[in-house]
Amino acid sequence: MRDLLDKIPQSRGKLESTIRKFKGAPVYIIELKVFGTACGCIGMLADVRGLQIEDIEVYQEHFVAILSEISRYIGLKPDLMYARTLPGSFEVVAFTARELCSRCKNDLASFEKPRPDLIILNKA
Q: Which residues bind another protein (CB under 8 A)?
A: 6, 9-10, 12-14, 16-17, 20, 24-28, 30, 49-52, 86-89, 91, 93
Report in angstroms how near the CB of residue 36 gets to another protein at its nearest: 23
DSSP run (H or E) holding 115: none
DSSP run (H or E) holding 84: strand 80-85
24 vs 38, which CB is nearer to another protein?
A: 24
Look at residue 116 and give its three-state secondary structure: coil
Report in angstroms how near the CB of residue 48 gets to another protein at its nearest: 9
Report in angstroms how near the CB of residue 76 gets to another protein at its nearest: 20
Residue 11 CA to residue 19 CA, distance in Å, equals 12
